[in-house]
Structure 1
Amino acid sequence: MHDLLPYIQGQLTQILGDMQYFGPEICLSLLFVVVLITDLLFGRNSEKLCRIVACGGIILVISKDIIQLQLIGEHNIFLFSDMLLQNHISLIFRLIIDSSALLLLLYFAWDEPLKSHTKKLSDLYSISIAAILGLHLMTMAANLLSVYLAIEMVSIASYLLVAYRSENAFSTEAGLKYVLFGASASAIMLYGISLLYGFTGTLSLFDPNFVAGLIQVNAAGTTFALILVLVGIGFKLSFVPLHFWVPDVYEGAPTPITAFLSTVPKIAAFGLLLNFLTPFLISQQWKAFDFGLYLSVIGIITMIAGNFAAVMQNNVKRMLAYSSIGHTGFALMAIVTFTSQGITALAYYLAVYVIANIGALMLVTYFTKITGSEDVNTYKGLGLKYPAASVCFIIILISLTGLPVTAGFTGKLLVFSAVYSVYQANHNIWLLLLTITGALTTVVSLFYYIKIPLNLFLKRTDNAAEPIAQSAYILIFAVIISIVLVLLGIFPNWLIKFL
């Protein structure tokens, strides 16, 4: 026992030293406890108070993120015995996550079906904060154990969010499907992790013995294990063929939860994917598994499947679900470059995609209250009755499509530029195919996004009902989001200089 005392003392000293780089996560942990206690103390009357505490806490977390950015600089710092990795790009991803989370926490109370739930929204805020903490850990995970724990933390919170409206059969069914698919993906990933540990004798991704151990193993066994781990990450990214849960879950979940699932977990999953790939990319001897080839093929198939499936949808939430799959495929283009230019393009693209997608789903909530339906055909003739919301919807859809002069166009241009720069250097045919597929599927996306403005302004309806009073908050934020997307399209350096 006495022999262990110096070791324990050294570990405690290291942990306390690492705490200075773990400020945002400590704040999130405390915020979760505070919101939970607030709910317990004030019961059914705690909804507004929990919302204020949650939003105030997230603002504090954002400030801590900014402090960490200044503290870290361009360094890579390993925390808690190499379990977590703190660096510039993971902090950028966390800033995007936290900024989006603040908007989503505000949005929860603007959705009438969700707000009218008998349990109210207090539990929703605490579950969301737990999910955000898990998302932070996903972007920092540098050990296969921390990878699994972070993904499971986010998954459990996501299951609860999807099935939150337990009195709604459709929502409950979506939650059950999500649990079944998620549990299967987690089990497959855990099997892959166990194989990698058996091959290498270490769980640390950045341990020199990790890649060195895999090099000594038969290439087929290594490939099999890596594919199993990528299944778990791919489930969160929802790329093909791990996308099958997305349409039903996004349609069945309350719209603000759909906005949550379609945005912030994807950012964290891309951050996790970068951490997972880095040890293999920096190794000069690694040749057993060509990540560039596999991810290029997945990206091409995902863009094609997501965008062409979206064309056939009339339900707006299902349309945006398939659209998000297509956007995942496009974002994989930036990953495949494996360059700093590609990572900057990825961060910009994800930031503007998140803003636009949340704005689009806010307006789905807005028009669903008017029509009582999520079918795009029920939007006929509403453009002139609700001009501000309709114009904002069109601007947001233009950005999601990637047309000038919006931020979506700049994001796609940055990704295309990054891919083409690498193609000029190595003339990899897969990069050329990615570029061509990205351009063609951007054109395809016009065919389903245009359904909304077509019905809003160009089609007429016999229904002469008077305009319905709507939430002013959704309209105000839709206007703000539209202005931000246009301004970032005209002045992209306002955002790029921080990435």
Structure 2
Amino acid sequence: MNEFTPYIHNQLNDILSSLPLFRPELCLGILFLLVLVTDLIFGKQSDWIVRILACGGLLFVLAADVAQYKVFSGYTVSSFFNNNLLLHHTAIVLKMIIDAAAVIILLYMPWDVSLQSHPKGLSDAYTVIVASVLGMHLMVMSGTWLTIFLSVEMVSLASYLLVAYRSENSFSAEASLKYVLFGLASSAVMLYGISLFYGFTGTLALFDPKMVANLQQVSNSLSIGLAIVFILAGLGFKLSLVPLHFWVPDVYQGAATPVTAFLSTLPKIAAFGMLINFLTPFITSVGFITIFDFRLALSVAAIITLVAGNFAAIWQQNVKRMLAYSSIGHTGFGLMAIVTFSGQGITALNFYLAVYAIANIAALGLVSFFANAANAHTLNDYRGLGIKYPVASVSFVILVVSLTGLPVSAGFNAKLLVFSSVYSTYQQNHNIVLLLLLITGALTTVVSLFYYIKVPLNLFLKKPEDHQEGKPVSVSLVVFCALSAFVVLFLGLFPNFLAKFL
């Protein structure tokens, strides 16, 4: 027993020294317990209490992230909890984006009439979202295969619960079942890839020098490539990369619209953070490209995702389904920034994800608004509604302009940063794959205009129809979407207001 005493002492010291770096996550854990207990005490009448508590708590967590942001700048990296978690500038920025977007989602949820009228209430959904945010924090800080898998599963379970929240809706139930089955399959594939990696390297730590060194000593490079493909497949499912996107249209359409806003932004941002951690030890290792060319593999995936997502969106009539396919295309743009393997690319990615989260959540908020106000779900249902609801309609136009990437919008600046980072890397190494990425990104941006323009076309230029009378509209939802449209325009004119913090 005495021989274990120094080991136990060192482990305790490591845990105690790690706690200050884990402050935002400790706050999230406490917040989750408070929200859960409040829901249990007050029952169905606790919705507004739980909502206020969750939003206030997440703002407190965001403040803790800002405190960490001031300490970690540049390329400073700290590992803690026995190298299981990593803290660096990019992880903190992504945590801040996730927390801010989570607050917006929590505010938005009761403004969707179909979800707000749910007999179970919304307090359970608020609790699940807080728990999922904790999982996303762990995703962007994961430093070992163990934390990667556990954090992914934590977020996956929360996502399954949210998609199935409207269990009385048959379409929603079908979508949740499909999501669970595909999610379990992707987790199994990812776990198999992780087990292969552990067998090859003998370590769980991503940044252990032995990991890449031992991989390079494996005689069969095909086995290593297979393990990497399996792990990328698990991450690709979260990112909705083609061909792992097949669950997205049905799940996004079947879930409640605020849940669709959640799925299309927060888990995707966290998955990009995890992908950065996964790639870093390989791209910083000289000679590993001879075993597996990450740039080529991810560039091909980005090109296919850009083409498939944007072209499939053209044929959609249901607005939620159209935005689902467009989100696949936006994933391709995020991957474009990743494959630069540069600090400029990561900055572009952070800006892109922040702007995309604002515009996409607000656009889906307006989908809720028109569904509430006029029972409008398809593009044809939107005919003439621009005259009847001018503020909401103009806001929608501004948001789709940003999602398209047209000038004088934040989306234009975001795509410009991504293109600039890819072109800068291309100038350095003249990799033909990067040139193909640039051409594909430009062409698919033009393609996206063909389906995004259908929104203003139907709102303002098509003849009005006799719309069904919907339910009372939420003024708060209109104000939120109008403010989001203003932010999109403001960041289009003054991008440095946000970019300097990323």
TM-score computed with the length of structure 2 as normaliser: 0.98
The alignment status of 1:221 with 2:226, answered yes or no, reads no
What is aligned with 1:13?
13
What is aligned with 2:252?
250
**1:355 corresponds to which letter in structure 2?**
I
Matches of 2:199 and 2:303, distance apart in 1: 33
What is aligned with 2:396?
393
Task: Work out whether residues 374 and 469 of structure 2, in 8 Å CA contact, stay in contact via their aligned partners in 1.
Answer: no
Residue by residue over 1:196-252, the C-alpha shift from the partner in whole angstroms, topping out at 9 and shown as x without a partner, is 000000111100111111111121010000000111111100001100000000000
SS in structure 2 at match of 1:69: helix
The alignment status of 1:139 with 2:128, answered yes or no, reads no
Matches of 1:342 and 1:120, distance apart in 2: 42
**1:148 corresponds to which letter in structure 2?**
F
Matches of 2:470 and 2:390, distance apart in 1: 11
Task: Work out whether residues 18 and 79 of structure 1, in 8 Å CA contact, stay in contact via their aligned partners in 2.
Answer: yes
**2:274 corresponds to which letter in structure 1?**
L
User: Pairwise CA RMSD of aligned residues?
Assistant: 1.0
Q: CA deviation at 1:327?
A: 0.4
Q: CA deviation at 1:44?
A: 1.1
What is aligned with 2:268?
266
Matches of 1:170 and 1:391, distance apart in 2: 31
What is aligned with 2:174?
173
In terms of mean alpha carbon deviation, does 306-315 or 9-18 score higher?
9-18
1:155-194 equivalent positions in 2, closer than 5 A: 155-194=156-195
**1:178 corresponds to which letter in structure 2?**
Y
**1:320 corresponds to which letter in structure 2?**
L
What is aligned with 1:150?
151
**1:57 corresponds to which letter in structure 2?**
G
Residue by residue over 1:301-354, the C-alpha shift from the partner in whole angstroms, topping out at 9 and shown as x without a partner, is 000000000000000010000000000011111001000001000100110001
Matches of 2:418 and 2:71, distance apart in 1: 29
SS in structure 2 at match of 1:85: strand
What is aligned with 1:427?
430
**1:166 corresponds to which letter in structure 2?**
S
Matches of 1:113 and 1:485, distance apart in 2: 27
Matches of 2:212 and 2:409, distance apart in 1: 42
Residue by residue over 1:160-213, the C-alpha shift from the partner in whole angstroms, topping out at 9 and shown as x without a partner, is 000001111111111100000000000000000000000000111100111111
Task: Work out whether residues 363 and 389 of structure 1, in 8 Å CA contact, stay in contact via their aligned partners in 2.
Answer: yes
The alignment status of 1:380 with 2:383, answered yes or no, reads yes
Matches of 2:396 and 2:265, distance apart in 1: 18
SS in structure 2 at match of 1:383: helix
Residue by residue over 1:260-282, the C-alpha shift from the partner in whole angstroms, topping out at 9 and shown as x without a partner, is 00001111000000000000011
The alignment status of 1:238 with 2:233, answered yes or no, reads no
What is aligned with 1:439?
442
What is aligned with 2:64?
64
SS in structure 1 at match of 2:388: coil
Matches of 1:298 and 1:119, distance apart in 2: 41
What is aligned with 2:366?
363
Task: Work out whether residues 190 and 230 of structure 2, in 8 Å CA contact, stay in contact via their aligned partners in 1.
Answer: yes
Matches of 1:285 and 1:336, distance apart in 2: 17
Q: 1:374 to 1:72 in 2, by over 3 A?
A: same
Q: 1:462 to 1:19 in 2, by over 3 A?
A: closer
Matches of 1:388 and 1:242, distance apart in 2: 37
SS in structure 1 at match of 2:287: coil
Matches of 1:95 and 1:235, distance apart in 2: 23
Q: CA deviation at 1:469?
A: 4.2
Residue by residue over 1:342-376, the C-alpha shift from the partner in whole angstroms, topping out at 9 and shown as x without a partner, is 10001001100010000100000000112324111
Query: How many residue pairs get matched?
Result: 499
- Identical-residue share of aligned pairs (%): 60
Structure 2: give runs of 5+ residues left out of the alignment: none
Matches of 1:381 and 1:465, distance apart in 2: 13
What is aligned with 2:127?
126
What is aligned with 2:278?
276
Matches of 2:295 and 2:355, distance apart in 1: 25
Matches of 1:234 and 1:34, distance apart in 2: 34
Matches of 2:459 and 2:127, distance apart in 1: 37
Q: CA deviation at 1:284?
A: 1.1
Q: 1:215 to 1:372 in 2, by over 3 A?
A: same
**2:442 corresponds to which letter in structure 1?**
A
Matches of 2:135 and 2:338, distance apart in 1: 22
Q: 1:167 to 1:466 in 2, by over 3 A?
A: closer
Residue by residue over 1:138-161, the C-alpha shift from the partner in whole angstroms, topping out at 9 and shown as x without a partner, is 000110010000000000000000
Matches of 1:14 and 1:191, distance apart in 2: 30
Matches of 2:47 and 2:68, distance apart in 1: 31
The alignment status of 1:330 with 2:340, answered yes or no, reads no
Task: Work out whether residues 139 and 268 of structure 1, in 8 Å CA contact, stay in contact via their aligned partners in 2.
Answer: yes
Matches of 1:3 and 1:285, distance apart in 2: 41
**1:232 corresponds to which letter in structure 2?**
G
Structure 1: give runs of 5+ residues left out of the alignment: none
Q: CA deviation at 1:3?
A: 1.6
Matches of 2:203 and 2:40, distance apart in 1: 42
SS in structure 2 at match of 1:337: coil
Matches of 1:285 and 1:20, distance apart in 2: 37
What is aligned with 1:48?
48
Q: CA deviation at 1:5?
A: 1.7
Matches of 1:142 and 1:178, distance apart in 2: 27
Matches of 1:127 and 1:465, distance apart in 2: 34
Q: 1:89 to 1:460 in 2, by over 3 A?
A: same
Task: Work out whether residues 385 and 467 of structure 1, in 8 Å CA contact, stay in contact via their aligned partners in 2.
Answer: no
Matches of 1:466 and 1:154, distance apart in 2: 38
The alignment status of 1:491 with 2:477, answered yes or no, reads no
Matches of 1:413 and 1:59, distance apart in 2: 31
Task: Work out whether residues 371 and 470 of structure 2, in 8 Å CA contact, stay in contact via their aligned partners in 1.
Answer: no
Residue by residue over 1:20-75, the C-alpha shift from the partner in whole angstroms, topping out at 9 and shown as x without a partner, is 01111000000000000000111111111000100000000000000011122331
SS in structure 1 at match of 2:111: coil
**1:230 corresponds to which letter in structure 2?**
L
